[in-house]
Amino acid sequence: MALLRNLADWAILTHRLYHDPVRRIRSRQLRALVRLVRLARQKSPYYQQTLRGLPLRRLSAFRRFPQVDKAEMMEHFDTLNTVGARKDEVMAYALDKERRRDDLGYWRGRFVVGLSSGTSGNKGLYLTPRSLTRRLPGVFLARGGVRLSDLPLRILFILRVFSQGFADINAPLIRLRYLHSMTPPADILDAFNAMDGNVLMAPPSVLRQLLPFRDRLARPPRRILTYAEVLEPEEKARFARVFGAPVAEIYQASEGQIASPCRCGTLHINEDLAYVELEDEDGTPVTEPGRRPARMLVTNLVNGAQPLIRYRMNDLVELGGPCPCGSKFRTLARVIGRQDDVLYLQDRNGVRRAVFPDLASRWIITTDDRIREFQVEQVAPDRLRIALDLGIGAWDGTVPLPGAEQGIVDALEARFREELAAYDIPCGLDFQVRPIPLPADNRKLKRFLGLPA
Ligand SMILES: [Zn+2]
């Protein structure tokens, strides 16, 4: 039964992605929104209150609906969800699982609980019904950037955390093995060889650590998929070259499956799974390719357990243009990073200039392949501290850096000076060479640290 359900989902989702005309995409979205809003009004006291008196007969009316952010969602968790879940209870469950490093299982036998990273008191809790996670294999086959010719899939999956949701991807045609992102690089590649893997799934930071061990791979993967972190175009090209496999990105968050690669490797918004609104500062919809919207609002169209309606994401994206695959699903040219990754520096005229994380990442990544990891910290309004992991341990600055490494630091300093000068930004630069380990717990490595507000 499960196999049939998965194959049906695969067929439907594939057909929609490549064949739905815009008109059908929109009508399907409206129907899904009406259904979700009706459910939310019936079963969520929070939405009964906030969505009162708001008609929804056309998509444009949805723009008048109130937005919700993580803080508000968490504050009203108990009345927002439609399944009678209480925040203290679900949080205790999630924290206990995290402490025991037990990633599997369902809360009350019915829900996968996602705990998003954040400072204490700022964590997000997300409920996904088991009925949905059971359907992930079909979704993954249709929207995971894989091809039927890759079947059966033997996936090595690397992340900071595992979840029952990922375990549920295991199906007759998909075998998935999980390793923690702290696993030593050589062991990761040995595991991939041992399972005769054909799909390698890992965050870019982990792939970067695998690069020097590439020769251990018995044969190149058929496909590499990244997620959980921004994939810079230069790194994408480097991974493809070094590992000898096409690289694509999946853009998935606790809030939903936002965008997936098509057969051309372009990131398409999953228009039938998430309703994504891209807006300017003043609320005008952003539709032109190349634009970076000020706001992204996501409404998860398939998860009614915890309706997220016009949920404000913290992510920065850039809209893309039409894709040669023919799909009318909108494309994302790139996922740029999080809003709190933007650094603000002043130019010579005292104007506050935003330095976007993709820009600074590119300067660093393209300067030298031996830079394994980095962190950029703003230590004063006009000063940046740039830490580099060059794989040589820590350097405290009291003895000269070896020539090769000094060359990397010099090249990077010159690059930063040149780039910042182009924006007329005077800025002091300090460099550090030190190991930058990935966090061992449920957090992402923060590469950009702004000044405390
Ligand atoms: Zn496409």
pLDDT in tens, 375-433: 999 999 999 999 999 988 888 777 888 888 999 999 999 999 999 999 899 999 999 99
In a domain, 167, yes or no: yes
Q: Given pLDDT bands bounded at 50, 70 and 90, which one contains residue 210?
A: very high
267 and 215 co-located in one domain: no
In a domain, 358, yes or no: yes
261 and 323 co-located in one domain: yes
For residue 26, count other CB atoms closer than 10 A to its CB. 15
Query: What pLDDT shows up at residue 341?
Result: 85
256 and 372 co-located in one domain: no
Q: What percent of the chain has pLDDT over 70?
A: 97
101 and 178 co-located in one domain: no
256 and 302 co-located in one domain: yes
Q: Given pLDDT bands bounded at 50, 70 and 90, which one contains residue 166?
A: confident
Please say which residue of 217, 249, 281 terminates a domain.
249
Tell me how far the alpha carbon of residue 11 lies from the centroid of ligand 1, in angstroms.
17
Tell me how far the alpha carbon of residue 153 lies from the centroid of ligand 1, in angstroms.
22
Tell me how far the alpha carbon of residue 341 lies from the centroid of ligand 1, in angstroms.
28
Q: Record the pTM.
A: 0.86
19 and 127 co-located in one domain: yes
Query: What pLDDT shows up at residue 444?
Result: 67
In a domain, 139, yes or no: no
C-alpha to C-alpha distance for 23 and 115, rounded to whole angstroms? 36
Query: What pLDDT shows up at residue 119?
Result: 52
Q: How many domains does the chain have?
A: 3
321 and 354 co-located in one domain: no
Tell me how far the alpha carbon of residue 325 lies from the centroid of ligand 1, in angstroms.
4
Query: What pLDDT shows up at residue 243?
Result: 97
Tell me how far the alpha carbon of residue 447 lies from the centroid of ligand 1, in angstroms.
30
Amino acid identity of residue 56, one-letter, is L
Tell me how far the alpha carbon of residue 331 lies from the centroid of ligand 1, in angstroms.
7
Please say which residue of 318, 338, 358 terminates a domain.
338
- Residue 177 C-beta-side C-alpha neighbours within 13 Å: 16
In a domain, 183, yes or no: yes
CATH number of the domain bearing residue 359: 3.30.300
Tell me how far the alpha carbon of residue 198 lies from the centroid of ligand 1, in angstroms.
22
Tell me how far the alpha carbon of residue 301 lies from the centroid of ligand 1, in angstroms.
21
pLDDT tens digit string along 167-194? Answer: 888 888 889 999 988 788 999 999 999 9
Tell me how far the alpha carbon of residue 175 lies from the centroid of ligand 1, in angstroms.
26
CATH number of the domain bearing residue 164: 3.40.50.280
Query: What pLDDT shows up at residue 101?
Result: 77
In a domain, 140, yes or no: no
C-alpha to C-alpha distance for 383 and 385, rounded to whole angstroms? 7
In a domain, 110, yes or no: yes
pLDDT greater than 80 at residue 121: no
Question: Could you tell me where the DSSP H helices lie in 67-184?
Answer: 70-75, 77-80, 87-99, 130-133, 136-143, 164-167
Q: Across the strands, what pairs with 199?
A: 155, 223
pLDDT tens digit string along 326-348? Answer: 999 999 998 888 877 888 899 99
Q: Given pLDDT bands bounded at 50, 70 and 90, which one contains residue 442?
A: low
222 and 172 co-located in one domain: yes
When pLDDT is averaged across residues 217-229 and rounded to a whole number, the result is 93
Take residue 357 and report the two structure tokens written for it: 């994380």
Tell me how far the alpha carbon of residue 269 lies from the centroid of ligand 1, in angstroms.
10
pLDDT greater than 60 at residue 240: yes
In a domain, 141, yes or no: no
8 and 112 co-located in one domain: yes
C-alpha to C-alpha distance for 66 and 56, rounded to whole angstroms? 13
Tell me how far the alpha carbon of residue 372 lies from the centroid of ligand 1, in angstroms.
31
Q: What percent of the chain has pLDDT over 90?
A: 62
Buried b (16+ CB within 10 A) or exposed e, 274-294: bbbbbbeeeeeebeeeeebbe
Tell me how far the alpha carbon of residue 318 lies from the centroid of ligand 1, in angstroms.
16
Return the minimum-mean-pLDDT range out of 113-117, 216-220, 372-376: 113-117
Query: What pLDDT shows up at residue 66?
Result: 97
Query: What pLDDT shows up at residue 441?
Result: 62
pLDDT greater than 70 at residue 1: no
Tell me how far the alpha carbon of residue 25 lies from the centroid of ligand 1, in angstroms.
15
245 and 268 co-located in one domain: no
Query: What pLDDT shows up at residue 356?
Result: 83
Tell me how far the alpha carbon of residue 328 lies from the centroid of ligand 1, in angstroms.
8
Tell me how far the alpha carbon of residue 308 lies from the centroid of ligand 1, in angstroms.
27
Tell me how far the alpha carbon of residue 199 lies from the centroid of ligand 1, in angstroms.
20
In a domain, 56, yes or no: yes
Tell me how far the alpha carbon of residue 74 lies from the centroid of ligand 1, in angstroms.
35
Give the domain range for residue 302: 2-134+252-338
pLDDT greater than 80 at residue 242: yes
Tell me how far the alpha carbon of residue 394 lies from the centroid of ligand 1, in angstroms.
44
Please say which residue of 249, 265, 291 terminates a domain.
249
Amino acid identity of residue 391, one-letter, is G
Place of tokens 């204490």: 120
Tell me how far the alpha carbon of residue 321 lies from the centroid of ligand 1, in angstroms.
10
94 and 174 co-located in one domain: no
When pLDDT is averaged across residues 86-105 and rounded to a whole number, the result is 88
257 and 127 co-located in one domain: yes
Query: What pLDDT shows up at residue 23?
Result: 98
Instruction: Yes or no: say if 169 and 146 are a contact pair by the CB < 8 Å rule.
Output: no
Tell me how far the alpha carbon of residue 17 lies from the centroid of ligand 1, in angstroms.
9
Tell me how far the alpha carbon of residue 271 lies from the centroid of ligand 1, in angstroms.
13
C-alpha to C-alpha distance for 346 and 315, rounded to whole angstroms? 23
